[in-house]
Amino acid sequence: MPEPSRLPPDEVALRFPDGFLLGCATASHQVEGGNHNDWSEFERQPGRILDGSISGTACDHWNRWPQDLDDLAALGQNAHRFSVEWARVEPQEGRFDLEVLDHYAAVAAGCRERGMEPFVTLHHFTLPLWLAERGGVLAPEAPLRFARYTAACAKAMGETVRWWVTINEPVILAVLGYLEGHWPPARRSLPRTFAALRALVRMHASAATALRAAARRHGWEARISVAHHMRGMTPEDPGSRLDRLAAAIPDLVLNRWFLLACRDGRLPAPVGRGQPVEGAAGSLDWIGLNYYADELVGFDIRRPGSLFARRGPDPSLPRSSFGWTIDPGGLHRALLRLSKEFPLPIVITENGVADQDDELRPRFIVDHLAAVHSAIAAGADVRGYLHWTSMDNFEWAEGYSKRFGLFAVDRQTMRRRPKPSAELYARICRAGGIPRELLADALAAPRTGIASG
Ligand code: FCB
């Protein structure tokens, strides 16, 4: 069989547009090891992490990043997303660690040297302890502090980095930290959840303003967004008005609210009262989409705390070992929906599957990329796809019990081992599309749940 890179053009069944970006996404706390932040404190509290683990040395990516980037470049990836750990950059308020900033600048440059476009996330769920102690994102000074830290990152990396993500999944952070209480600060209250959402818009806006000011001053190009999590909310019974209403409310708050605020520069109802936020209007140059799964929603009178909504997986669909449904159609729908309401270029900043033994992932990748391809054919302006994730890592409250990586990591030796899906993804990256054979194999493979976790 010829090398995928040498496949003649007609062997690529679904080709992506020229310049399409294909890579992986990671986050500092999940891979670096040795972090000291609100999460590392939280992990030590009994009962917080499913398997009782702490992030600890994680994947030791802080030290092993050159080899890790080599491995990804060898797969033929032309993009890579990583995050900067605020707690390392600014371990005490106002004291910036220049060596740490140099480290991240080297990682960004290291991506470029290997032919991978760097995507940099400034905040991926973790906070420095000094800010967490003052209320975290609810601290009145959070937007200003975040802007100052952003300015330091821009100074260190602005020449190298074009694609910036200010905040990863702000809505998930607010929901898990303040509504469901599974993540720090684990303080459950609906008013606080809404306050956190408003604060996160302010933080994003102030960071975007700082980035734009730096880019203007130095003549750099900065393309700014957030990584926005979307979960389609389908009414259990589409014929029932109550189910439709029960689905519409979480759909507005989880899927649309944050983007509306960034588009219009105001905090819309039901989370806000239309208050203006300086720097928010038009603050997105593109949309980062994190897509994993859709949910079914039914009206439930016994759940006033969840706005009378019962949410869960569609039982007719296969599931990952996280219990999330697998449905590439959901990604296709999310892309078309976004394109219609927020007509901006889109990059899929995360999409992946928890799969203990790499049984689901090969077909998952092919099916989801085929869905991206068909969304582009239907008019969506999608510029890239970043798979979550390069290697098995610390999956927040699930600890090390969920495996999302293309590479397995031996937790004793830290050795990385490519899984079959890494090879498959390499063939796609090198071909700039889905080779005919992979598509045929995927279509022949069973699609129903293997969920082995
Ligand atoms: C997303 C997070 C990412 C990872 C994946 C599985 O919500 O952004 O850090 O945990 O889920």
Which of ligand 1's atoms lies nearest the C-alpha of 168? 8
From the list 81, 33, 19, the residue with the least C-alpha distance to 351 is 81
The one catalytic residue in 90, 236, 350, 395 is 350
**Mean pLDDT in residue range 191-204:** 98
Residue 307, pLDDT above cutoff 50: yes
The one catalytic residue in 85, 90, 117, 169 is 169
Ligand 1 binding pocket mutation candidate from 396, 402, 403, 404 (most atoms within 8 A of CB): 396
Task: Say which residue, 153 or 447, is predicted with more confidence.
Answer: 153
Q: Are 214 and 220 in contact (CB under 8 A)?
A: yes
Neighbour-count burial of 216, counting CB atoms closer than 10 A to its CB (0-12 exposed, 13-18 middle, 19+ buried): exposed
**Mean pLDDT in residue range 297-320:** 92
Mean pLDDT, the chain, as a whole number?
A: 95
Neighbour-count burial of 446, counting CB atoms closer than 10 A to its CB (0-12 exposed, 13-18 middle, 19+ buried): exposed
Retrieve residue 269's tokens. Answer: 């109802």
Neighbour-count burial of 9, counting CB atoms closer than 10 A to its CB (0-12 exposed, 13-18 middle, 19+ buried): exposed
**Mean pLDDT in residue range 207-230:** 98
**Mean pLDDT in residue range 220-238:** 98
- State the pLDDT confidence band at 7, using cuts at 50, 70 and 90: low
Quote the pLDDT of residue 5. 52
Residue 4, pLDDT above cutoff 90: no
Neighbour-count burial of 123, counting CB atoms closer than 10 A to its CB (0-12 exposed, 13-18 middle, 19+ buried): buried
Quote the pLDDT of residue 342. 98
pLDDT digits (tens, 9 = 90+) for 76-115: 999 999 999 999 999 999 999 999 999 999 999 999 999 9
pTM of the model: 0.96
- State the pLDDT confidence band at 320, using cuts at 50, 70 and 90: very high
Residue with tokens 């510029």: 383
41 catalytic per annotation: no
Q: Is the Cβ atom of 27 under 6 angstroms away from ligand 1? A: yes
Residue 10, pLDDT above cutoff 70: no
Q: Are 311 and 299 in contact (CB under 8 A)?
A: no
- How much of the chain, in percent, has pLDDT values that exceed 70? 96
Residue 168, pLDDT above cutoff 80: yes
Distance CA 23, CA 229 (A): 18
Quote the pLDDT of residue 452. 30
Ligand 1 binding pocket mutation candidate from 28, 350, 387, 406 (most atoms within 8 A of CB): 350
- State the pLDDT confidence band at 444, using cuts at 50, 70 and 90: confident
The matching CATH number, chosen from 3.40.47.40, 3.20.20.80, 3.40.50.2000, 3.40.50.720, for 4-444 is 3.20.20.80
The Å distance, Cα 161 to ligand 1 centre, comes to 22
How many CA atoms, within 13 angstroms, populate the side-chain half-sphere of residue 416? 22
The Å distance, Cα 395 to ligand 1 centre, comes to 7
- How much of the chain, in percent, has pLDDT values that exceed 90? 93
- State the pLDDT confidence band at 450, using cuts at 50, 70 and 90: very low
Quote the pLDDT of residue 445. 74
pLDDT digits (tens, 9 = 90+) for 119-150: 999 999 999 999 999 999 999 999 999 999 99
- State the pLDDT confidence band at 306, using cuts at 50, 70 and 90: confident
Query: In degrees rounded to 5, what are phi and psi of residue 94?
Result: 80, -5
CB atoms within 10 A of CB 305: 10
DSSP symbols for 231-274: --EEESSTT-HHHHHHHHHHIIIIIIHHHHHHHHSEE-TTT-SS
Q: Are 267 and 201 in contact (CB under 8 A)?
A: yes
Consecutive H or E run containing 117? strand 117-123
Parse the chain into domains and list their residue ranges. 4-444
